[in-house]
Structure 1
Amino acid sequence: MQPLSSEQALFLLQDTYLPALKNEQRITTKVIEAVPLDKGHYRPDPVSRTALELAWHIAAAENRFLETTINGEFNTSASARPESVRNSADVAAWYAERFEKNLDGLTKLRSEQLLKVVDFRGIFQRPAVTFLQLAMMHSIHHRGQLSTYLRPMGAKVPSIYGESYDDAQARKAAQAS
């Protein structure tokens, strides 16, 4: 496999990853916000994370991967949840603020920074720009997990890639009235 060129790295960032990240962040925020404020303790199984823990993991890990691209180094320390983040609304607010800061940082990167090879826990080494795809895949995976928590805790599932049952029911009810 040929290494990425400067032009390819910039193309991936500007034309592929940034638009996709913005879209996925919007969807992920909807899922996090759908967790009822008083149901953050819900977990479907004793070995599962709570809804609040999972929402935090999604928000913090995604931003850690974005920061990996920006800083050219993977930080192996997981972000501790601040004391001020007590429910899903707090997670969503933290996520939005940190994401916007990191998005701004990403737009300022030069091709040399995007091409810097970053080590991921000794498991693999790859160009920094490719950690943006890893960020999306990781968030999509855990967002799917979190979306399965919603109905059992009494919440509505928002539309993700297509209309959800709950959004369809709301639309039909609005049309009928």
Structure 2
Amino acid sequence: MTIIEILLKEIEQEAQTTRKFLKLVPEDKFDWRPHPKSMNLQQLTTHIAELPAWVTMAITTDGLDFAAVPYEPSTIDNTADLLEFFEQSYADGRAHLQAFNEADLEKPWVLRNGDQVLADMNKYETIRISISQTIHHRAQLGVFLRLLDIPLPGSYGPSADELGK
């Protein structure tokens, strides 16, 4: 398998799990947060849904400067739109990755806030971080859902809820 094929397989596997979690998000709890420093459920799930499109950003740009392009999250207020947004982000990221030249994975990509460099890496590393961010924030979502007493699906095997524990 090529590196591109490996990445495509990984994002598909993670998308399958992410869909299961996003489907469980209760619309009446979008404003809920477990702690004042935490994102609320709407912010967290919207961020999870947009992350597959960061693959596109890694492929089509040489970086992101928050000082020049401030982060403006989408506002999504229902689960159906959240799932649709995720599917669009996933399809976009996947299509760009499928068409990408593997040799270009080594090209540099820089995340900055004006003069402050937050991350200096290559496009491959940026794509991997977008996948890792999806996994990380999906785990946060699992904690949020658990605290709301919503049974969880398994991620990499059955959950305690699926096993009836």
* Smaller-chain TM-score bracket: 0.7 to 0.9
Local SS of the residue matching 2:120: strand
The one-letter amino acid of 1:102's match is G
Structure having the higher helix fraction is: 1
Q: Structure 1: how far apart are the matches of 2:118 and 2:34?
A: 31
**Contact 1:43-1:51 within 8 A present in 2 as well:** yes
Q: Structure 2: how far apart are the matches of 1:87 and 1:74?
A: 31
**What TM-score do the two structures reach when normalised by structure 2?**
0.84
**What TM-score do the two structures reach when normalised by structure 1?**
0.79
Q: What do the CA deviations read for 1:5-57 (whole angstroms, capped 9, x no partner)?
A: xxxxx93222x211111111111121121111222122111221111110111
Matched, 1:117 2:108: yes
Percent identity reads 24
The one-letter amino acid of 1:61's match is L
2:96 to 97, 105, 114: 105
* Aligned residue number for residue 128 of structure 1: 123
Q: Structure 2: how far apart are the matches of 1:50 and 1:89?
A: 18
* Aligned residue number for residue 78 of structure 1: 71
**Contact 2:153-2:159 within 8 A present in 1 as well:** yes
Structure 2: unaligned runs, 5 residues or longer: none
Q: What do the CA deviations read for 1:71-111 (whole angstroms, capped 9, x no partner)?
A: 132333434214xx212332121011221122011111113
* Aligned residue number for residue 5 of structure 1: none
The one-letter amino acid of 1:100's match is A
Query: Over alpha carbons, which structure has the higher Rg?
Result: 1
Moved over 6 A (4+): none
Q: Structure 1: how far apart are the matches of 2:160 and 2:37?
A: 28
How many positions carry a matched residue from both structures?
157
Structure having the higher strand fraction is: 2
For residues 111 and 152 of structure 1, do their structure 2 counterparts lie closer, same or farther at Cα, with a shift above 3 Å needed?
A: closer
Structure 1: unaligned runs, 5 residues or longer: 1-9, 173-177
Query: What is the RMSD computed on CA atoms of the aligned residues?
Result: 2.1
Alignment of 1:1-150 (within 5 A): 11-14=2-5, 16-64=6-54, 66-75=55-64, 76=66, 77-82=70-75, 85-121=76-112, 122-150=117-145
